[in-house]
Amino acid sequence: QVQLVESGGGLVQAGGSLRLSCTASGRTFNRNGMGWFRQAPGKEREFVAGISWSAYSTYSAESVSADSVKGRFTISRDNAKNTVYLQMNSLKAEDTAVYYCAATGFGYSGGYLERSATYRYWGPGTQVTVSS
């Protein structure tokens, strides 16, 4: 029903920046939640940031991020383009991981963006490597 494809990953030096993009296709809708997760070598997949849809209420447009990236990473979305972004600044070696884009399914009512079980659709991932 929905396909997600990430782009923008690559190799950067510590302290640098990258902007990841995730474009959705298929039976997409904008009143959903979208998020970014990452998996580093030898570690479990972890939550990075999530964002709800843009609407009339503040709640429906909420965004959250993990403590490890607060102040450095920013999530945003462009519903007209069916795209979600992750701006990553002040990158550290520990940010090295495969980054995955995810989207909730129909019927999402908000909240729990930090839980992987909230999401129905996942992209194949894009590699981010930070050298020190």
CA dist 24 and 3 (Å) reads: 6
What mean pLDDT is reported for the chain? 91
Q: Give residue 54's pLDDT band: very low, low, confident or very high (50, 70, 90).
A: low
User: Residue 34 forms beta bridges with which residues?
Assistant: 51, 103
The better pLDDT of the pair 56, 29 is held by 29
Residue 61, pLDDT score: 60
**How many CB atoms neighbour CB 91 within 10 A?**
22
Q: Give residue 39's pLDDT band: very low, low, confident or very high (50, 70, 90).
A: very high
Residue 127, both tokens = 């590699």
Residue 109, pLDDT score: 82
